[in-house]
Amino acid sequence: MPFLLYRLSRFLRVRLQGWRLPLAVATFVFLSSWLVMWLVEPAGSGIAHPATYWWYFVVTSATVGYGDVFPVSTAGRLVGSYVIVGGIVTLTLLFTQLANALQSVRGRRLRGVIPLELSDHVVLLGYWPGRTERIVAELTAENGFQVALCAWDDVPENPMPDNPAVHFVRGDLTHEDVMSRAGVPAARTAVIDGRDDNETLAIAVAVDHANPDIHLVAAVRDLGRRENLRYVNEHVQVVQWHMPFLLSEEANDPGLTQVYNDLMSSGGHGNTYSMRVPAGFPHRTVGDCQTWFGRTFGATLLALRGGDGLVVSPPWDVPVDEGTTLYYVATRRIDVPTGR
């Protein structure tokens, strides 16, 4: 009987595919064993009764064997052995199919071909070996964002499979299908890191079409393309391509790029200046200087350089000695006479 079962399983494996194979084996073993058990067991045993046999079949084929129902004849015990072997074969086929299904899903995820079930995440469009890993590390370090990394078809599978925060999508980055699979309509931020500025512009069009309200950040080689991108989305934040750290900073803290650009622009609302503390300067700590700068000039002290070197955002109790250089943001340069 086990030999016939083995031959049958080989035949069915060819004829049946997927989950149908273990189901067919289990059905055949159940019906054939029930029929033989009904023929060989004494009528008084009751094991072949329809209300009883299904329970006996389940516990025996699963090799649990509670012992509350059992055959009394030698032929019945042989049928029980057949059910045990059939159960082992069925479970083996079932677990093999389950493992194949899980492996198939994992493989499809690695290849980036299935839709992601994410929301309030960051979509990073474009992959550069090394550069993208640094951007992702900064994106996920502080706020723990989930990242949907989208790459062209020349990246065959997820380049960061060991990072659970990175989910992979592959395809045409300007296509609606990629926008959908990456969950752009439900994302909080899209970071575009294209291969050139024309591609970045094309990707921005696709992103804006999928989610006009998304926080959009784009890296460009030529900052003159900023206006072209603003035709697409007037709120886009544009950073220079060679400053990738700004991409993650803007994604984590929206609007920060605009602050940087304003500080670095001579036509901004505030410029950065420095002054050397003269002899007789009356404000002897950072706190005193910060209060004086703010109340008198509407300025903000950023950093100082003293004997210990440059200190950005120094504590208020740090002393300000003669010769210390102060760096501040103001609408104009402040001339500081001594003795006041």
- How far CA 89 is from CA of 59, 70, 75, 80, 245, in Å, comes to 15, 21, 21, 14, 56
**Would you call 37 exposed, middle or buried from its count of C-beta atoms within 10 A (0-12, 13-18, 19+)?**
buried
Report strand pairing: 147-151 vs 122-125.
parallel
pLDDT classification of 111: cutoffs 50, 70, 90? confident
H or E element: which one contains 200? helix 197-210
Model confidence at 105: pLDDT above 60: no
For the entire predicted model, the pTM comes to 0.59
Q: Tell me which architecture the domain covering 2-111 has in CATH.
A: Orthogonal Bundle (1.10)
Q: What is the CATH number of domain 271-330?
A: 3.30.70.1450
- Give the Cα separation of 9 and 3 in Å (integer): 10
Domain ranges of the chain: 2-111, 122-264, 271-330
Which amino acid, one-letter code, is at 66?
Y
Between CA 331 and CA 340, with CA 337 as vertex, the angle to 5 degrees is: 105
Residues 225-276 pLDDT 10s: 888 999 999 889 888 888 888 788 888 777 777 766 666 555 555 678 888 9
**Bridging pattern class, strands 237-240 and 215-220:** parallel
112-to-102, 133, 206, 297 alpha-carbon distances in Å: 15, 17, 19, 55
Strand, coil or helix: what is 158?
A: coil
Give the DSSP letter of residue 98.
H
DSSP 34: H
pLDDT in tens, 60-83: 777 777 777 778 788 877 887 888
Average pLDDT, the chain: 82
**Rg of the chain taking only CA atoms, in angstroms:** 35
Distance CA 112, CA 163 (A): 15
* CATH of the domain spanning 122-264: 3.40.50.720
